[in-house]
């Protein structure tokens, strides 16, 4: 088990910088998810931590010790690859034991560890099969098993579930979480699926274009996104955004006006805000309520799932389409006009100049 610190980590390939001075603290035993859009550098970051890739500058510390020049094996990490990367010419058993053999471990200990991992992951019936003869889910488990047997200080996962079908994914998700509870080892988990990140991780790191956008607990990111990128990236469907202007600034918050919202006060710390600044307002679809009167919305599309309903529509004076998510049954016709109510505590304000969010005034 290890606590990991990344200090001012920088990585460049030839002439392209792919990691820009990244700082992250990961506590011992923590489950951290790295999320971000494709190509943002999640895998790169993971490979830098693993030691598979050399860092250009900065420091990586495991339990306070610099490991910059150590090999993956010396860092005592284990990794589960997106493609599983099982050795195709070896049986499941060999796949599990290969890493231990490389360490010149005693035969008996190897056997014991393999048996334990195989039992844990339900692999016993397949021990003599080659990976080719396994299903996707079974391969996945072998890949995890290969990581477990080595008793690593840190588990690294690079999108381990993306090759599984939806049902298996949910199941394996649960298993990995359970595994973490049981082993209590530091785990770093790359995914571009935010549901995975939200449900599994204790801490989420949002990466974008080689930079860290925000680090925090899942709900923190959901409720208090630090900037527009995080706000839009976390949560599905996406946060609704519309343009507004600041009309008043005081201790109780910022008053904004837009095409549809009139002099609405949102309780955020005003800091550098000035009257007349243009800002973007954000409101999550699930934070929108239907009311008798309020902001009119013309329904353009409706998705009723029985237990929940998505309403798509356009508001007068807004170019962006709006989505509302109701956690219950709701009936309407396309073309109907309904009335919405926004709650100011649930609204986000982003400065257009910096894309940063104004901090909420906590109650």
Does position 340 interact with another protein (CB under 8 A)? The reply is no
Kindly tell me which of 24 and 281 has the beta carbon lying closer to ligand ATP: 24
The minimum distance between CB 233 and ligand ATP, in angstroms, equals 13
Nearer to ligand ATP, 164 or 295 (CB): 164
User: Given the structure tokens 């005081």, which residue do they identify?
Assistant: 250
By CB under 6 A, is residue 18 in contact with ligand ATP? Answer: yes
Q: Is 151 helix (H, G, I), strand (E, B) or coil?
A: coil
Among 57, 102, 316, 344, interactor with another protein by CB under 8 A: 102
Per CB under 5 A, which of residues 30..59 are in contact with Mg ion?
43
Cβ nearer to Mg ion, comparing 43 with 95: 43
Using rule CB under 8 A, residue 83 touches another protein: yes
Closest by CA position to 193, among listed 144, 158, 153, 147: 158
**φ, ψ dihedrals at 68, nearest 5°:** -40, -45
Q: Does 134 bind another protein (CB under 8 A)?
A: no
Pairing of the two strands 321-326 and 309-315: antiparallel
Residues numbered 17-56 forming contacts with another protein, rule: CB under 8 A: 47, 50, 52, 54
For residue 36, the minimal CB distance to ligand ATP (Å) is 6
Considering CB distances under 5 to 8 angstroms, the limit depending on partner class, which of ligand ATP, another protein, Mg ion, none binds residue 98?
another protein
Stretch 148-177 residues interacting with another protein (CB under 8 A): 150
Please state the closest distance from residue 27 (CB atom) to another protein, in A. 23
Whether cis (ω within 30° of 0) applies to the bond prior to 40 is no
How far is residue 235's CA from residue 323's CA, in Å, rounded to a whole number? Answer: 12
Based on CB atoms, which residue is closest to Mg ion, 5 or 43?
43
6/261 with CB nearer ligand ATP: 6
**How many angstroms separate the Cα of 45 from the Cα of each of 8, 27, 54, 206, 210?**
12, 17, 11, 12, 9
Query: Rounded CA gap, 303 and 307, in Å?
Result: 11
- The smaller minimum CB distance to ligand ATP, of residues 44 and 258, is found at 44
Size of the residue set binding another protein (CB under 8 A): 24
269: Cβ contacts below 8 Å, ≥ 6 apart: 358, 359, 360, 361
| Contact (Cβ atoms closer than 8 angstroms) between residue 294 and residue 339 | yes
What CA–CA distances, in Å, run from 83 to 30, 58, 79, 159, 251? 24, 29, 11, 9, 53
Which CB, 43 or 258, lies closer to Mg ion?
A: 43
Q: How far is the CB of 288 from ligand ATP (least distance, A)?
A: 31
The DSSP symbol for 17 reads E
What is each CA distance from 49 to 53, 69, 202, 320, in whole angstroms? 8, 11, 19, 40
- Binding residues for another protein, per CB under 8 A? 47, 50, 52, 54, 71-73, 77-79, 81-83, 85-89, 98-99, 102-103, 146, 150
- Binding residues for ligand ATP, per CB under 6 A? 13, 16, 18, 36, 38-44, 192
């Amino acid at each position: 088990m290890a606590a990991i610190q990344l200090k001012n980590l920088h990585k460049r390939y030839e002439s392209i910088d792919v990691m820009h001075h990244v700082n992250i603290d990961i506590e011992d035993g923590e489950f951290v998810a790295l999320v971000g859009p494709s190509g943002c550098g999640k895998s790169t970051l993971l490979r830098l931590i693993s030691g598979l890739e050399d860092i250009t500058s900065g420091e990586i510390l495991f339990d306070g010790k610099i490991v910059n020049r150590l090999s993956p094996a010396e860092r005592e990490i284990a990794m589960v690859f997106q493609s599983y990367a099982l050795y195709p010419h070896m049986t499941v058993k060999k796949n599990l034991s290969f890493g231990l053999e490389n360490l010149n471990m005693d035969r008996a200990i190897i056997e014991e560890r393999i048996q334990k991992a195989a039992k844990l992951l339900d692999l016993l019936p397949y021990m003599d099969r080659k990976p080719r003869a396994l299903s996707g889910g079974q391969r996945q488990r072998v890949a995890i098993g290969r990581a477990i047997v080595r008793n690593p200080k840190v588990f690294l996962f690079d999108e381990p579930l993306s090759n599984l079908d939806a049902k298996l994914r949910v199941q394996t998700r649960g298993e990995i979480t359970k595994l973490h509870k049981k082993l209590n080892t530091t785990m770093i988990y790359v995914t571009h699926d935010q549901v995975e990140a939200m449900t599994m991780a204790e801490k989420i790191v949002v990466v974008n274009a080689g930079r860290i956008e925000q680090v925090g607990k899942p709900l923190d990111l959901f409720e208090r996104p630090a900037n527009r990128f995080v706000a839009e990236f976390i949560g599905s469907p996406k946060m609704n955004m519309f343009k507004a202007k600041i009309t008043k600034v005081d201790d109780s918050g910022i008053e904004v006006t837009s095409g549809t919202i009139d002099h609405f006060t949102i309780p955020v710390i005003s800091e550098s805000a000035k009257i007349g600044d243009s800002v973007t307002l954000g409101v999550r679809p699930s934070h929108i309520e239907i009311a008798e009167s309020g902001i009119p919305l013309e329904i353009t599309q409706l998705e009723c799932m029985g237990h929940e309903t998505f309403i798509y529509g356009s508001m007068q004076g807004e170019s962006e389409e709006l989505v509302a998510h109701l956690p219950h049954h709701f009936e309407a016709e396309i073309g109907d006009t309904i009335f919405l109510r926004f709650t100011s505590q649930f609204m986000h304000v982003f400065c257009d100049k910096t894309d940063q969010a104004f901090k909420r005034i906590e109650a």
